[in-house]
Structure formats: C-alpha cells, structure tokens
Amino acid sequence: MFIFFNKIKQPAEPFKKIRCFVPMHAIVVGSGIAGLAVALRLKKKGFSVEVFEKNDYVGGKLTAFEQDGFRFDAGPSLFTLPKQVDELFELFNENPRAHFNYLKLDIACNYFWQDGTQLTASGNIEKFAKNVEKTFKTPAKSIIKYLKKSAFVYNTVAPVFLHMSLHKWTNFINLKTLKGILFMPFLGIFSKLNNYNQQQFSHPKLVQLFNRYATYNGSDPFQAPAVLQSIPHLEFNIGAYLPKNGMHDITKSLEDLAKRQGVIFHLNSPVSKIETSNNKVTGIWVNGELKSADVVVSNVDIFPSYKHLLSNQKAPEKVMSQPRSSSALIFYWGIKKEFAQLDVHNIFFCKDYKDEFDFIFQKKTVGNDPTIYINITSKKIKEDAPAGCENWFVMINVPGNTGQNWDEIIETSRKNILNKLSSILKEDISACILNESILDPRSIESKTSSYQGSLYGSSSNNRNAAFQRHANFSSKLKGLYFCGGSVHPGGGIPLCLQSARIVADLIPKS
C-alpha cells in the first residue's frame, strides 16, 4: 500500500509582517523663538509636531508691527551667533541663504554721555581699542586683553553651563565639565561684574560701558557675578549682526521652514491645561478639547506654566520665588528726520549707574536719569521708514510689574527721555515725533505670558543663578519638558535657541 503526500507549494518569499509606523506626537505650547526651534528639532527626530499659540501670530517677543509707514521690530534688537539659526535650516539640508540673510554690523554701538563724550564701538576690535585709547586715554592693549579674557571665559563656561542640562548628573562626568570646574576661580563666579571691571579699567566711563553687559540678561552689574564678562565676546569677537529684513525675519523664516517640514501651527489657541495621568503627560486642553500627545514642551514662562497649565501639580516654589530680571519700557517713534551721529545701536548713559540699578532692583521704580537705548533699523534697512525719516525703538530698563503706577512712570519717563536726548543731540526730539506706540511691563506680560513682564525670567544677580533656573525637563512627569528664557540656560535669542537644543537632546527619537 502506498501512501502519497501532496507537496504543499511554498511561497516564493517567506511571509513578512507589515508594521505600520506611526510617529510619536509632540505638542509645543507657545511659539516663541525657543518653541519654533524645538518644534523643528523634534520634527527632525521623527515626531509629528503641533504648536499651539494663544496669539494670532508666532514669535512671542520676537515680532514686529507697522505704523504710518514705519516698520518696527517690537522685541529683541541685537542679533548674535547667527549660526544658531543657520543650523536649523541645515538640519533639513536647506541652504540658509536661500531663506534667511543677515549682515555683520561695522559699528557695534555708539555711546553718548551727558558731558559731551562720545565713543564709537567699531565691530573691528583693533579700531574699537584705538577709539577707546583716543577717547579715554586708556591703552588699546587693555581692551584687547579684556576681550581675549572674555573669549576664554565664554569658551570655558559655555560647554558646562549653556550647552547641556545642569540637572543631569551624567553630564558632569566628562573632561569639558572637569575643565570648567577647575577654572571656576578664574571665571568670575565669586566676584561682582562691577568690581571686576573696576580692576581692569581706571576710567569710570569705560567701567560703565562694560557693566552694561549685565543688562543683556536683565541683571544688575553691581550684584551679578563677573562671569558675565563673557557676554562682550559675542558682540565683539564674533560680531553683531542684523537680519536684512529686520529681526522679525528670524521668526518668519523659521516659521516658514517649520511649515515646509510639516509642523502644524494653531493660532488663537490658548492652552488651558497640560493633562497628566500616572505621572506622565498625556496631552493638553485647548478650546475645551483634549489633544493627546506623547511629549509636551512648554515654551511658556515657568511661572504661568505651573500656576495655570499645571495647577494640579506641586509647583517648585523655591525656583519660582527667585528675583525676576528687569523689564522694559519702550517707545516706538516715527521720527521725521535723519540723525547722522546715530547708528543701528545707540546708548545714552546716565550719570550714576549704581543709582539707576538701585531704583530698578531695590526701589522697584524708575529714576529721573535712566540710561536710554535707541535701535534704528532704518539705518541699514531703508524700507523701514519713509524717505528722510527714521524708526526709533527707544528703550529704558525698568522693574517688573508688581503693581506700580505705570501710567505715571510712563509720563515722567517720557519727559526725562525727551529732555536728555534733546540736550545731547542738540535737537528738540519731541518736535520730530510723527507717531508713537508704547510697550510697558503690563503689556509685555499680557502679550507674552512673561511673569511680571520680566524679559529674561529670573535675574542673574547671584553666583548660583545658573543652577537655580528650572530644569529643561520635569523630574516628576514623564514626557514634560520646558524651553525658553525662564528656564535653563536663560533669556535672549542665543540662550533660548540653546534651550531648544538641550530639550531636543533630552528627548529620545520617535
């Protein structure tokens, strides 16, 4: 008896399971410069990304507006480290110059004092040093030496305090960190910026000039650590720049890049709550609807992030109770004249710098002789003002909003500013103003959710400030991250972009 087995025909190729890949979903709350950058970096890591913004525009403080034929950048006016923006285009193999262009300024800033002293800070270090020598009888080599030390401090500090999370102990086990710790006694951590500058220069106006760099992160040079001597390195050794279409072009170009890469933006969409479950974020509530997410990044100031978006979570009260940075009072003036002695960046110093900062940080108000900053983009971008006119962004440093009578402060400050500028420039400035808009700490807070209207989150008025900023991640809620000026490493365009990089590096690929 024969038994026959029928052969079963095998398929030509073995059966393969088909896996449907669904990328993890990230939601970014807020579209400031850090929010835009982290959205791009997460998109590059394979996430699907949505950005929710309460305003009808993106950019946070980095925005612009027009009035009667004048264009104004509303917020940040100094552009340094432009390669940080270029890098975001290069992540997607795009040529930055095809979408975003800038020029290096040949004059970093013009300085004016009430006794008639003037100084042009050339973007060329040697020229700047020679101008200082001529004006203040201070050897040019002392400026060169100062800026070399500034570069050394920055290059030593940045890898440790700016380029990585300070809240991951594993980041401290490397040679760069060890080098930074070993050099700490030489970096100005334990002395004040003003004291350091007095040791370097005998001329009080030169001390005042370099003390000014504490204001770049909203701090007081008489309290802030001397490590802030590193800031001039960015402006002089690397350079001050201006986007060819104005500062707002940083926002617009990154928004366009994000849209090209598939990032979805929701404007007029205020987030009311970050949803959590079992010690993990699960999404956000917006317009009464729950939007699910695997990762949520808050680009909102850390104070309202906890008080409003995470109100059911225990807030880090020690972090949130830190003294805030200064704020700003800004007058946007359309000026019906061109002033040859002014450039893009201009500073009109007060007589008593110590007194000015005492008013801001101790008395919580504004003195009668504030230092005045004027930014005029029409010096380089002629389209920003009608022919024969200039767009003046006129700013003074002020305290954050703690209930002061701002209407009175604005009226008094406006008079003092006009009197001072008219005296120094030998022109009745009030008669040159064609139109005006005003931004004060109250409107800064309402428009950007910056607590008290502070521009940089907490101040850097103590040596531990870098360690006291909130981490870029939540230690209690998995999937929750923070970026922007109120968390590590701090405020200003370069540090906000750096915070986005740190966050993206912390989040595993989708």
Q: What is the CATH number of the domain that holds 49?
A: 3.50.50.60
In a shared domain, residues 318 and 463: yes
Assigned domain for 290 exists = yes
In a shared domain, residues 288 and 231: no
| Mean model confidence pLDDT for the chain | 92
Among 214, 235, 256, the domain-final residue is 235
For residue 18, is pLDDT > 70? no
Residue 176 pLDDT: 63
For residue 206, is pLDDT > 90? yes
Confidence of residue 19 (pLDDT cuts 50, 70, 90): very low
In a shared domain, residues 221 and 304: no
170-199 pLDDT, tens digit per residue, is 665 666 666 666 666 667 677 999 999 999
Assigned domain for 272 exists = yes
454-496 pLDDT, tens digit per residue, is 999 998 898 777 678 899 999 999 999 999 999 999 999 999 9
Helix (H) or strand (E) run with residue 153 in it = helix 140-157
Residue 270 pLDDT: 97
**How many domains, the chain?**
2
For residue 20, is pLDDT > 80? no
Query: Measured in whole angstroms, how far is the alpha carbon of residue 228 from the centre of its chain?
Result: 15
Assigned domain for 464 exists = yes
CA 319, CA 302: separation in Å to the nearest integer? 9
b/e 277-308 (16+ beta carbons within 10 angstroms → b): eeeebbbbebeeeebebbbbbbbbbbbbbbee
Full DSSP string of 319-332: HHTSPBPPEEEEEE
Assigned domain for 45 exists = yes
235-259 pLDDT, tens digit per residue, is 999 999 999 999 999 999 999 999 9
Contact status, residue 491 vs residue 218, Cβ threshold 8 Å = yes
Residue 510 pLDDT: 78
pLDDT > 70 in the chain, percent: 91
**Coil/strand/helix, residue 500:** helix
Find the range with the poorest average confidence among 157-161, 330-334, 402-406, 437-441: 157-161
| Residues spanned by the domain of 186 | 134-235
Assigned domain for 281 exists = yes
In a shared domain, residues 268 and 197: no
Task: Determine the average pLDDT of the residues in 341-359.
Answer: 98
For residue 14, is pLDDT > 70? no
For residue 6, is pLDDT > 80? no
In a shared domain, residues 479 and 504: yes
Assigned domain for 362 exists = no
Tokens of residue 161, six digits = 């305090």
In a shared domain, residues 177 and 251: no
Tokens of residue 110, six digits = 């013009």
In a shared domain, residues 257 and 226: no
For residue 107, is pLDDT > 70? yes
Assigned domain for 109 exists = no
Assigned domain for 407 exists = no
Structure-token match 């990304």, residue found: 49
Among 235, 265, 297, the domain-final residue is 235
Find the range with the poorest average confidence among 278-287, 315-324, 351-360: 315-324
Read off the pTM: 0.92
Give the end-to-end CA distance of the chain in Å, rounded to a whole number: 62
CB-facing half-sphere around the CA of 5: CA atoms within 13 A: 3
In a shared domain, residues 227 and 271: no
34-45 pLDDT, tens digit per residue, is 999 999 999 999
Residue 126 pLDDT: 97
In a shared domain, residues 156 and 223: yes
For residue 16, is pLDDT > 60? no
38 contact partners, CB below 8 Å, separation of at least 6: 28, 297, 299, 481, 483, 499, 500, 503, 504
In a shared domain, residues 203 and 261: no
In a shared domain, residues 140 and 228: yes
Strand partners, 242: 103
Give a three-class secondary structure readout of 209-244: HHHHHHHHHCCCCCCCEHHHHHHHHHHHHHCCEEEC
Task: Determine the average pLDDT of the residues in 342-363.
Answer: 98
In a shared domain, residues 145 and 211: yes
For residue 4, is pLDDT > 50? no
Among 235, 268, 301, the domain-final residue is 235
